[in-house]
């Protein structure tokens, strides 16, 4: 499930400053009116049955149509309200070693062990569309 949100002027000003810091030679003329910011949010489940590999590393690819390989996804574990279940989920989530965005998917990798419980995660990726139509991702 994807939801898109737009930043207010204060949030947009912070984004402009971050972009300028990352690529100062190309962004010196950027202002808040130079681009649109879209906050892409998806909630997905990493199922224990969908890990691939007969031994480490284990991988699981989650299809997300709007995901681009240029995005840097920020992933958060969504834990249960039951304390004992939440603790188990946190322990199992710590087995995920790497998260990579791909065009149309996100790849989760476990270098040693794979989670033994299903994990619900929230994936967030910001995308910036410049007024000239070029997209910049973060």
Which pLDDT band, with edges at 50, 70 and 90, does 20 fall under? low
Residues 57-83 have pLDDT tens digits of: 999 999 998 888 888 888 999 999 999
pLDDT band at 24 (very low <50, low <70, confident <90, very high): very low
Q: Is the pLDDT of residue 127 over 70?
A: no
pLDDT of residue 23: 52
Cβ within 8 Å of residue 22, ≥6 positions away:
none
Between CA 66 and CA 125 the distance in angstroms is 10
Question: Cα(72)–Cα(101) distance, rounded to whole angstroms?
Answer: 7
- With beta carbons less than 8 A apart as the criterion, state whether 7 and 39 touch: yes
- Phi and psi at residue 47, to the nearest 5°: -85, 140
pTM for the structure as a whole: 0.69
Tally Cβ neighbours within 10 Å of residue 62: 19
Q: Which CA distances in Å does 47 have to 21, 55, 101, 113?
A: 38, 17, 18, 14
Residue spans per domain, the chain: 2-133
């Amino acid at each position: 499930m994807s939801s898109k949100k737009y930043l207010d002027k204060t949030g947009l000003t912070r984004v402009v400053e971050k972009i300028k810091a990352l690529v100062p030679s190309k962004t010196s003329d950027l202002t808040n009116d130079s681009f649109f910011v879209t906050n892409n949010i998806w909630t997905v489940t990493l199922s224990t049955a969908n890990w691939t590999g007969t031994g480490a590393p284990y991988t699981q690819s989650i299809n997300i149509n709007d995901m681009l390989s240029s995005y840097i996804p920020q992933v958060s574990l969504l834990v249960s309200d039951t304390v004992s279940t939440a603790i188990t989920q946190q322990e199992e989530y710590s087995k995920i070693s790497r998260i990579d965005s791909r065009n149309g998917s996100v790849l989760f990798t476990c270098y040693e062990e794979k989670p033994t419980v299903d994990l619900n995660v929230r994936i967030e990726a910001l995308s910036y569309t410049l007024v000239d139509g070029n997209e910049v991702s973060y």
